């Protein structure tokens, strides 16, 4: 990435935040759109690596590691959505950008929505990738215990060894088992070894499971596109249906044969939808894409039937 990006550290609300930025962000070219890429829970700015070069040719791109993830320092306080939105606001202030398009994945999608609600004048448009909105329908009793109790926090701090982490990624994050490479597991565990990061992951889990945005989405005024993996086992399609029921003006894009981490496993399809939503002329020749079949025993989502059942007025398209 040396030829089109760099890592830098900024201080936002007293917290050291690592930002991956395109080298175009260093220029005085004010005609370029500004894209802010927000990753989700148990992730980092690394998830954007396969599309970062293509985006950087067309826009100023800024991809922070959220506090307590990747290379960024952990917060000592709350990880409730309001605190994360305040941090995002401070990050944008430190980067001296006023109006941006936000591309948010999972928890990052919740932050993008929160920013659009809190500071609508600063958000040009949204592209939400399987965003967290309300109570996750997959959050059973054991998951809520893990996320909300002191004993759950203690268990969480000791549960993520190599095999346990791999199994977590296989169960919830990735549709294709072959995508869960050893390097992905090692990178995540290395991040979790940084001071305060396991505690940050535990505190952010509660917000990831329920950021409390249900019933508020109709107040979003900027153009919005929603992209969802048809086989997402983290934020299932029922959540997408509820989201489109509230945000009927949004354009909906369904990517077949893709799970929660479609940004990593279907980068070309994702970049195609991103380009269409934002009006960018992206060069996608060097962006890979895969069309994996579902794991053995995994139900195949009939995306065509799902699309037919979308609310009237919601624009939809398959990859």
Q: What is the pLDDT of residue 303?
A: 37
Write the CA distances from 166 to 15, 47, 49, 174, integer angstroms.
30, 17, 21, 10
Q: Which residue has the tokens 């005609």?
A: 31
Q: What is the pLDDT of residue 40?
A: 97
Cα separation, 198 vs 74, in Å, equals 9
Q: What is the pLDDT of residue 299?
A: 38
Q: Mapping DSSP to helix (H, G, I), strand (E, B) and coil, where does residue 31 land?
A: coil
DSSP strand E in the chain: where?
5-12, 15-22, 34-38, 60-64, 100-105, 123-129, 224-229, 251-255, 315-318
Q: What is the pLDDT of residue 231?
A: 92
Other residues' Cβ atoms within 10 Å of the Cβ of residue 154: 11
Q: What is the pLDDT of residue 318?
A: 53
Name which of 92, 7, 22, 31 is nearest 55 in CA terms: 22
Cα separation, 209 vs 197, in Å, equals 18
The answer to whether 117 and 81 are in contact (CB under 8 A) is no
Q: What is the pLDDT of residue 123?
A: 98
103 torsion bin: left (phi>0), alpha (psi -120 to 50), beta (else): beta
What would the DSSP string read from start to end of 40-78?
-TT--GGGGHHHHHHHHTTSEEEEEPPTTSTTSPPPSS-
Domains of the chain (ranges, CATH numbers): 5-318 (3.40.50.1820)
- For residue 24, what is the DSSP state? G
Cα separation, 284 vs 303, in Å, equals 25
Q: What is the pLDDT of residue 64?
A: 98
| Ordered mean pLDDT values, 10 residues apiece, the chain (319 residues) | 77 97 66 93 95 91 97 94 98 95 98 98 97 76 54 64 88 88 93 92 90 94 95 90 89 92 93 92 78 41 38 47
Token reading at 170 = 């296989």
């Amino acid at each position: 990435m040396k030829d089109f990006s760099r890592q830098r550290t900024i201080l936002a609300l007293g917290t050291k935040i690592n930002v991956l930025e395109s080298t175009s962000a260093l220029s005085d070219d004010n005609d370029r759109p500004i894209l802010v890429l927000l990753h989700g829970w148990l992730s980092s700015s690394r998830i954007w690596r396969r599309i970062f070069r293509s985006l950087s040719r067309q826009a100023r791109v800024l991809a922070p590691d959220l506090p307590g993830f990747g290379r960024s320092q952990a917060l000592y306080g709350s990880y409730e959505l309001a605190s994360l939105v305040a941090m995002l606001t401070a990050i944008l202030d430190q980067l001296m950008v006023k109006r941006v398009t936000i591309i948010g994945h999972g928890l990052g999608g919740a932050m993008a929505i929160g920013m659009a609600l809190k500071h609508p004048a600063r958000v040009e448009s949204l592209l939400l990738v399987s965003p967290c909105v309300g109570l996750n329908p997959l959050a059973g009793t054991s998951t809520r215990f893990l996320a909300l109790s002191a004993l759950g926090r203690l268990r969480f701090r000791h549960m993520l060894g190599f095999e346990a982490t791999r199994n977590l990624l296989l169960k919830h994050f990735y549709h294709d088992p072959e995508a869960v490479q050893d390097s992905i597991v090692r990178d995540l565990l290395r991040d979790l070894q940084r001071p305060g990061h396991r505690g940050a992951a535990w505190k952010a889990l509660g917000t990831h499971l329920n950021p409390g945005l249900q019933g508020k989405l109709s107040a979003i005024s900027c153009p919005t596109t929603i992209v969802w993996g048809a086989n997402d086992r983290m934020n299932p399609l029922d959540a997408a249906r509820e989201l489109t029921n509230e945000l009927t003006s949004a354009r909906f894009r369904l990517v077949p044969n893709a799970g929660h981490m479609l940004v990593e496993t279907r980068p070309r399809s994702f970049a195609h939808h991103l380009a269409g939503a934002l009006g960018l002329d992206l060069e996608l020749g060097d962006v890979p894409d895969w069309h994996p079949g579902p794991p053995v025993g995994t139900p195949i989502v009939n995306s065509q039937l799902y699309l037919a059942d979308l609310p009237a007025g919601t624009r939809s398209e398959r990859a």
